A and B are shown apart, each in its own frame.
Chain A
Amino acid sequence: MSDDDVLVELSGVHKSFGEAPETRVEVLHGIDLTLRRGELVALVGPSGSGKSTLLNILGLLDRATTGILRIRGRDVSDMSDAELTSLRAEVLGFVFQFHHLLPGLTVAENVMLPAAAREGALAPTQRPRAVDLLGHVGLADQADRYARQLSGGMQQRVAVVRALMNSPLVVYADEPTGNLDTESSMRVMDFLVDWNRRERTTFVIVTHDPDIARRCRRVLRMVDGHLVADGPPEDVLR
């Protein structure tokens, strides 16, 4: 791989929460990480090790306390919140651990949201692609129902395809299969692996499930705010 393929570079990133010195806790202790075009990465580690915190920083939702984050070579630390927001809309996709859909919107509208954010409105022209994406996870026939009418597992599958609406360069998925049974989890993974191969979209998938992690070509292990392992699954997962 050439250096043109480098999308994201983290170097020496620390993250602390709290203002006062006595209540201040450091959650990330100097993370160095490079993500390239087309990588399929699993991020594993015990609860509370800082996986979601790292994802928020990578996803431009939170800022590092110290350290540098470059996206396509550009340092983001001096960008304004508005610039970060439009960069998110352009190049990033998200699947969240807890919140999935907006219950007052239809399923199709939920999937259209990233496009609506970019274009300034929900528009009928965005719908065909949304319905097409829903078809990949077997939910095309649910497009016009309200999101709140769907089961938790269905909602999570909708959230997965929503992250792909704008054809982002990188997708950060925080336990995208957390609410799914084994079979649905594997179907969602089949879809993501296939998408990764076809579109060369980079995925970072946080998971507790070794079977999911094993399907990624690169696995990162995080313990207590340190990246302690980075390599192919057969080396990291043992």
Chain B
Amino acid sequence: MLALQLALRFLGEGRTQTSLILAGVTVGVAAYVFITATMLGVEQNMVAKTLGSQAHISVLDEPMPPQPLVHPEGRLVLRTVVQPEPRQKPFDQWQRALERVEATPGVRAACPTLAGSGLAIRGGGQQAIRVVGADPTRLRRIIDIPANLVEGSWRPDADQVVIGSVLAEELGLALGRPMRIRTSAGEASVRVVGIFELGSDAVDGQWVVTSLRTAQSLLGRPGDISSIDATVDELFAADEVAERVAARTGLTAESWMARNGALLTALSAQSQSTTLIRVFTLLAVAMGIASVLAVTVVQRRGQIGILRAMGVRARTILATFLWQGALLGIGGALLGTALGMLVGGMLERVVPFDIVVGPSTALQALAISLLTGLGAALWPARTAARMDPAAAIRGDE
């Protein structure tokens, strides 16, 4: 308590010095917050773009990749390589697999889906399409079509479809218009009841979304599905969840991370370089605090001597200087977070992604700045605490 009181009075006394170093810490923390928020924004933006039209995990009815059978001692005894059969084999007992996928920890939602290719016929022309059939309520938890609906409804009934905006434009299709679809199973007519735009050309230009039953009849695969798509609780845990799903179902489970390796490599390289920048920023902040405190320890030699003579313990002197570091860290964190948000808010208007300083970034900045302040104060504080009171009072040198 005495230590905190003395720390506040010491900081208040050297007002110019305190303001300058506080400004330094503020700028450092602001840079830290801003860089972190920008990095998160870029990452979220790229991930959102990628995942807006992809399931986190797709479970396919394919045997697990061939596994070498290894003898307990490590010697290879047998290896079987099974050639994957051509596709189109029905998904074996998918209802049971669906239950297991849903019961896997980390899975938030699952949706049996039947997808297949076909052609949209209009006038004399034709256009390649992808028929995607799924229960609308389940599908919205995998790919959020309702949130990206441009017009109409997102719940197709029998023989009704919801199509992408690019496809609608290319085919000149409006709501309520009929559309002819040809697949390997034959030709049928459906009605367009909704148009969506997910922001991905491949999806908006090809997807024809309908109920599972309609897709099964269009593609001539009654009762069948092609995959079970799943959403996970923790985006970046998709790999682990996929492994768990594969283990439980004995099927192949492919995560978005496996599908988008290049994107993840780029993101991780970027995150490493920002980490480096953040570390250097914090080092600069720490050295600023340390040098100012080291100077004040020397300036306050006589005062420290008086305090010790009055019976103030060495521990209290140590705590006094640690408090100064901590207070500079906390003060700089609060001001710096505010400044970082301000700069981020200004930049956000000119970049195509969100720069969000969330509570976790702010708390992280506070914790790191506090630790930096304490760490920086450690050495000056120890010097002050170990000062010989007699030498400090003599006032020579």
Contact = CB atoms under 8 A, between A and B. Distances in A.
Interface of A: 52, 56, 59, 61-62, 81-82, 85-86, 88-90, 92, 94, 96-105, 109, 113-114, 116-118, 120-122, 148, 162, 166
A47 to B, nearest CB: 13
A118 B311 contact: yes
B308 interface: yes
Contacts of A82: 313-315
B395 A98 contact: yes
Contact of A102 (B306, B388, B390): B306
B2 interface: yes
Contact of B311 (A52, A56, A105, A117): A117
Interface stretch (B7-15, B60-68, B167-175): B7-15
Given A105-B9, A120-B1, A121-B5, A89 B393 contact: no
A104 B311 contact: no
Contacts, number: 90
A89 B311 contact: yes
A148 B313 CA distance: 24
Q: Give the interface size bracket for B toward A.
A: 20 to 34
Interface of B: 1-2, 5, 9-10, 12-14, 302-303, 305-316, 388-390, 393-395
Given A113-B307, A121-B1, A96 B393 contact: yes
Main secondary structure of the interface of B (DSSP, over half): helix
A102 B312 CA distance: 13
A85 B395 contact: no
20 contacts: A61-B308, A62-B388, A85-B311, A85-B313, A86-B311, A94-B310, A96-B306, A98-B393, A99-B303, A99-B306, A102-B9, A102-B303, A104-B9, A104-B13, A109-B9, A113-B312, A114-B310, A114-B311, A117-B316, A118-B311
B2 A61 contact: no
A98 B302 contact: yes
B393 A61 contact: yes
Contacts of A103: 13, 303
Contacts of A113: 306-307, 310, 312
Contacts of A105: 9
A71 to B, nearest CB: 14
A96 B309 contact: yes
Contacts of B389: 61-62
B175 to A, nearest CB: 75
Contacts of A62: 388-390
A130 B313 CA distance: 21
Contacts of B393: 56, 61, 96, 98-99
B299 to A, nearest CB: 11
A117 B310 contact: yes
Contact of A61 (B10, B14, B309): B309
Contacts of B10: 104
A139 B114 CA distance: 92
A85 B5 CA distance: 20
A212 B278 CA distance: 64
B138 to A, nearest CB: 63
Given A99-B395, A103-B13, A122 B302 contact: no
Given A61-B309, A90-B311, A102-B306, 9 more contacts: A56-B393, A86-B313, A103-B13, A104-B9, A104-B12, A104-B14, A117-B316, A122-B2, A166-B311
Contact of B309 (A59, A86, A97, A120): A59
A236 B303 CA distance: 36
Nearest to A97: B395
A52 B391 CA distance: 11
A85 B308 contact: yes
A117 B2 contact: yes
Contacts of B311: 85-86, 88-90, 92, 114, 117-118, 166
B244 to A, nearest CB: 55
